Amino acid sequence: MDRVVLLVRMAIRNLLASPINLLIGGLILFGTLVFVILGGLLDSLNQSMQRSVVGSLAGHIQIYSSASKDELTLYGQMGSDPDLKAITDFPRIEEALSKVENVKMVVPMGVSGALITSGNIVDTTLEKLRDLYKARDGKPSPPKLAALPRDELDRRIVSETSHMRQIIKVLRGDAEKAMTDMLNGTAVDPYNLEALRRVEHDEFWADFEKDPYANLEFLENRIAPIVTDTSMVFLRYVGTDLDKFEQSFDRMRVIKGTPVPRGHRGFLIADLIHEEQMKLKTARRLDKIKDARANGRLIATDDELKRFVKENRLQTRELVLQLDGIKTQALTKSLQDALGSKETAIGPLLSELMTTTDENFDQRYQQFYGLVVPQVQLYRVNVGDMLTIKAFTKSGYIQNVNVKVYGTFAFTGLEKSPLAGSTSLMDLMSFRDLYGYLTADKAEELKEIQKQTGAKTISRENAEDELFGEGAEVVAEATAGVIDPDTAMSGAGRKLREEDLVRRVYTEHEFNDGVVLNAALMLNDPTRLDETLARISKLSDEQNLGIKAISWQKASGLLGQIINVFRALLFVAVAIIFFIAMVIINNAMMMATIQRTQVIGTMRAIGAQRGLILSMVLVESMVLGLLFGGLGMLAGSGVLGAIAAKGIAAPNDVMYFFFSGPRLIPHVTGAPLIIALVIILFVTVFSTLLPAVMATRISPLRAMQADE
């Protein structure tokens, strides 16, 4: 012990004696500082990202069929979804997995995406008009309208008609603008122009009542196609057991509307998508300006905000198209009062309202939400709407599913993250319908059809006999079907089935008993993830479950690798720093050894064994490393602590996901400190090994010869 103390003491004194040691120490300090700070930040980032990934979609572990062509990536890969083989016996797998120690919950899933389209404004206005006429003429129509008195129906018809004329006016304006822009290459189809001219005339509208259905058809066929702004939104969704999902992903909360009632079919839109893509663009831009101003940005100086204001001022068309006659009148009046303007046209009035500055913004914002919003549809899809989702099934045909939107949801802390907020939720039944898998409903429906038509299933082997053999019953005379267009083709019948599906309550067994593509596993103790993964793999082999289990990190694909990439970069940077330190240490210790030949020789002469000389040199560089490395660790921890006091604000919405909230609060973790210690010890010992061995070779004779 005393010897060690002496060696350390000698080491410290030797270190202080040479200025080059300060340079080496500085390098080690710098390397350690960088490593501890960045390592700590990356660890914190990894943990917060884990919270985001695990808490928003992945769970701790994902399982999927081991027979799948692709690997499961929850956030898609290169824009396409992985080709997963469906798991057909989920109940058996769920039962087996639930029994694995540390598994808290198994949530069945399927990730997919589809385009949803809401008909364009002409289509919806015309549909409204048609329903109103039908109600007036006593034809089958939505029950709500059928119950209205005649004069109310007439009033609404007038209002919708004027709305239609408003739309036509806007379209005509667009066409004329396009004509003047023709030099820029925008052409107007004369065929469309002719149609517009015709419906613009009062004549057309004066005669409208004579044959409303024919005129409506003309508008549908000739005018509706001109409007190109059919809104299409790509929705990415997870089909899942919504009850289990809510229980497992406890950061999820419903923002608008309600959760899907237990056991029901239903859809929850990701709130961010609802806000970003389904809200009126003008309103969304106003919201963004408000947010930005709250964060200290100014319209006067911020280019993005200036652009928003300009777009709001110029793009009033979206609002005007929504206004029917009654609403136009009411809004014109209230805007004139609010703005103190004498302008009579609604377009310029809205432009004036949208001419916002830092001074009038708050007032205009309130006026917009108070006066304009009540007259228009703020969101393209509202809570309570029936959403028609069209998707390509596995086998390539298009499948439609109608599903009720119960509300919107977000994950606490990730409200603004496009990554966490881009996936909506759908019940498993609808998902299976969309994906083209047989659901309980479908099976029932098929059975019913079979019974009604007398169809029977025949096997491939017997097909020939059954079809052409004697007494073949299968072939029947075809008879022309009689189709009643009002009941079979139009909405009424379909609506009934829809309503029935919406109301239907499924048992957990029904939800589970069907295909799923993957499943999320929540663990009791996430630190034992690797161990649990191994246990599941073993179980799958033993019980022939045919599943593959991967960690959240792997399931998040490239996203999960980002941290590893950063970490690799950090290691490379630190490796370079320490490599330089190693070279310098090596040189410095060589020099020091040569300079100390006489001292070392003397020590050997008076009885020091080679081992002591070796440890003397090694201790010296280790003391150097530990001293400055320790300082670096302290400084690094201090810097991290200082950063943690305020946290790092997410610079943009994407970083919300990585930070798992608006701020990253880094903390000093043990791992970088321990790794830094190991690296320092390795670097110092390794770089001193050669000089140390050289020192042990110094002969005690050198003590005598030195000064001769």
Partner 1 sequence: MSAIVTIQDVVKEYNLGATVVQALRGVSLTVDKGEFISIAGPSGSGKTTLLNLIGCVDTATRGRVEVAGKNTAELSERELTDLRLNTIGFIFQSFNLVSVLTVFQNVEFPLLLQNKLNAKERKARVEALLEQVGLLTHQKHRPNELSGGQRQRVAIARALVTDPLIVLADEPTANLDSETGQAILDLMKSLNQQKGTTFIFSTHDHRVMRYANAVVRLADGKVLGRESPEDAVAHAMGLETPKHAEVRTP
- Nearer to partner 1 (CB atom), residue 47 or residue 602: 602
Site membership for partner 1, residue 78 (CB under 8 A): no
Site membership for partner 1, residue 707 (CB under 8 A): yes
From 82-90, 519-527, 594-602, 674-682, give the range in contact with partner 1 by CB under 8 A: 594-602
Q: In Å, how far are 169, 309, 334, 415, 679 from 282, measured between CA atoms?
A: 21, 9, 19, 21, 56
Surface-to-core class of residue 538, CB atoms within 10 Å of its CB (0-12 exposed, 13-18 middle, 19+ buried): exposed
Site membership for partner 1, residue 3 (CB under 8 A): yes
DSSP state of 439: P
Site membership for partner 1, residue 594 (CB under 8 A): no
Site membership for partner 1, residue 599 (CB under 8 A): yes
Site membership for partner 1, residue 554 (CB under 8 A): no
CB of 621 to partner 1, least distance (A): 15
Per-residue tokens: 34: 């960088």
From 4-12, 66-74, 472-480, 623-631, give the range in contact with partner 1 by CB under 8 A: 4-12
- Nearer to partner 1 (CB atom), residue 326 or residue 612: 612
Identify which of 505, 512, 513, 59 has the alpha carbon closest to the alpha carbon of residue 266.
505
The correct pick among 425, 604, 618, 619 for binding partner 1 (CB under 8 A) is 604
Say what angle helices 325-339 and 150-180 make with each other, to 10 degrees.
Answer: 70
Q: Rg of the chain over CA atoms, in angstroms?
A: 37
CB of 617 to partner 1, least distance (A): 14
The correct pick among 36, 643, 650, 703 for binding partner 1 (CB under 8 A) is 703
Site membership for partner 1, residue 2 (CB under 8 A): yes
**Between 7 and 46, how does the x/- string for binding to partner 1 read (CB under 8 A)?**
--xx--xx--x-----------------------------
According to CB under 8 A, which residues from 635 to 694 bind partner 1? none
Question: Which residues are paired to 411 by β-bridges?
Answer: 252
CA 434 from centre of chain: 21
- Nearer to partner 1 (CB atom), residue 339 or residue 612: 612
> Rounded to a whole number, what is the distance in angstroms from the first to the last CA of the chain?
36
Judged by DSSP in three states, 272 sits in helix
CB of 681 to partner 1, least distance (A): 23
Per-residue tokens: 119: 């008909």
Site membership for partner 1, residue 612 (CB under 8 A): yes
Q: In Å, how far are 449, 506, 511, 545 from 429, measured between CA atoms?
A: 20, 9, 7, 23
The correct pick among 140, 442, 598, 665 for binding partner 1 (CB under 8 A) is 598
Site membership for partner 1, residue 591 (CB under 8 A): no
Site membership for partner 1, residue 595 (CB under 8 A): no
Per-residue tokens: 18: 């040479």
The Cα 626–Cα 684 span in angstroms is: 9
- Nearer to partner 1 (CB atom), residue 138 or residue 611: 611
Identify which of 111, 49, 50, 46 has the alpha carbon closest to the alpha carbon of residue 75.
111
Stated as kind and residue range, the H or E segment containing 30 is: helix 19-53
Question: Which residues are paired to 523 by β-bridges?
Answer: 103
CB of 588 to partner 1, least distance (A): 16
Q: What does the angle CA 268 – CA 273 – CA 278 come to, to the nearest 5 degrees?
A: 100
- Nearer to partner 1 (CB atom), residue 53 or residue 703: 703
CB of 590 to partner 1, least distance (A): 19
Cβ atoms 108, 94 nearer than 8 A: yes
CB of 597 to partner 1, least distance (A): 11
Site membership for partner 1, residue 597 (CB under 8 A): no
The correct pick among 22, 378, 584, 605 for binding partner 1 (CB under 8 A) is 605
CB of 13 to partner 1, least distance (A): 4
Site membership for partner 1, residue 608 (CB under 8 A): yes
From 165-173, 321-329, 361-369, 699-707, give the range in contact with partner 1 by CB under 8 A: 699-707
The correct pick among 510, 602, 639, 686 for binding partner 1 (CB under 8 A) is 602
CB of 689 to partner 1, least distance (A): 21
Surface-to-core class of residue 621, CB atoms within 10 Å of its CB (0-12 exposed, 13-18 middle, 19+ buried): buried
Q: What does the angle CA 530 – CA 531 – CA 532 come to, to the nearest 5 degrees?
A: 90
Q: How many residues bind partner 1 (CB under 8 A)?
A: 29
Q: Residue holding tokens 């200036």?
A: 306
- Nearer to partner 1 (CB atom), residue 537 or residue 597: 597
Q: What does the angle CA 418 – CA 419 – CA 422 come to, to the nearest 5 degrees?
A: 70
- Nearer to partner 1 (CB atom), residue 72 or residue 619: 619
Site membership for partner 1, residue 603 (CB under 8 A): yes
Cβ atoms 545, 63 nearer than 8 A: no
The Cα 82–Cα 59 span in angstroms is: 18
* Beta strand 103-118 pairing with 398-411: unpaired
CB of 601 to partner 1, least distance (A): 8
597, 600, 601, 603 alpha-carbon torsion, rounded to 10°: 160
CB of 19 to partner 1, least distance (A): 15
- Nearer to partner 1 (CB atom), residue 607 or residue 651: 607
CB of 614 to partner 1, least distance (A): 14
Per-residue tokens: 463: 């097909």
The correct pick among 80, 609, 642, 671 for binding partner 1 (CB under 8 A) is 609
Site of interaction with partner 1 (CB under 8 A) = 2-3, 6, 9-10, 13-14, 17, 598-599, 602-610, 612, 699-701, 703-708
